[in-house]
Structure 1
Amino acid sequence: MNSQKNNTLTNKLTTLLLTIYSAVLFWIIVLKLNISFTYKGTRNVNFIPFREPLLYNGRIDYNEIFLNILIFMPLGLYVGILFKKLTTARKVSSFFLVSLFCEVCQFVLKIGAFDITDIINNTFGGIIGLILYKGLEKAFNSPVKAQKLINIIATIGTILIVATLLYLKINRLLMFRK
């Protein structure tokens, strides 16, 4: 009975971390941390993968690719843990749909550009996260142990990211008061 209660608490923590992650993801990707951009008010669309938005001074901006992949890796981990009954295709579809939702919101709200490259990279990040979870599950030979390790790392990461984002937001607000 104690093991079942422990698993329930572990799942609740994972669900809480997914909820916080989702809010932070929306704030970063859709709301752009509430930072004004020069293209605000315009609606840009790019349906050609890995085209001009990645170019910066004539060079490919690998940072944007890397960050788009990195920011969706936790989604892959959380989906792998919490939605075990879904097929792999449905899990991958969920990464695609979340990314598509973010891109459509950026377009509709005139906050960013709708970019197919972002959708591809975000989906790939979710897939990498899912593969990482499956690898940890096999390495520990236990989905519960893998989940507990991910929860520990995710809790520390979540605290650091939320604290950093709040610091940046507060710092930005204080700069505007001057």
Structure 2
Amino acid sequence: MQEGKTVEQCLKAKSGDRKAMECLVRQYRPLMVSLANKWRGYGFDDALQEAHVAALEAVMQYSPDVGCPFGTFLKQRMRSHLRTWGRRQVRWVDRHVAASASHHGDDATLLPVEEWADVQTDFSRLPVEWAEWLDALSPREQLVLKKQVIEGYTLQEIAEEESVSRHTVHTWKKRAMKKLRSRVAEEE
């Protein structure tokens, strides 16, 4: 669809034309899928739904006076929306993991900083529930959590130590976090 037709469809959709809105959504669905794929570690279906919401909002906010093509405006809005959504997901997990830790044993789950050195080499000192969760992770996923969370390494430092790319280490971490998120969700 040419930019002129796209702008025309956008203006129709803004004024309440459902067919125009559906046509725009259908036209930009591949872009939504592509962007949602980048967030599949957080759940592809949820990411796709968020991209769809962002697309609907972008249609309602777009004005030809903005000075950029609709497709560019839409992509920027969807990327921004998905980044914000991803941050909310991480905060949610952080809150629930902390709440779970305090709920399942208070002091037993919270170790003094001096004792972290022992834990970094032996996950068995963690509460039983956490040890079970960590056992469900692959050795690489355990490694990245241990190195980054307990020892404070950056992803780049871990990558250099393991002779892999930073992206590979990031993938290990994403898989580990996804597994932990699903365990937290199961517990609720």
Q: Please indicate, yes or no, whether the TM-score normalized by the shorter chain is above 0.5.
A: no
Relative to the length of structure 2, the TM-score reads 0.34
More helix by share: 2
More strand by share: 1
Q: Larger radius of gyration, structure 1 or 2?
A: 2
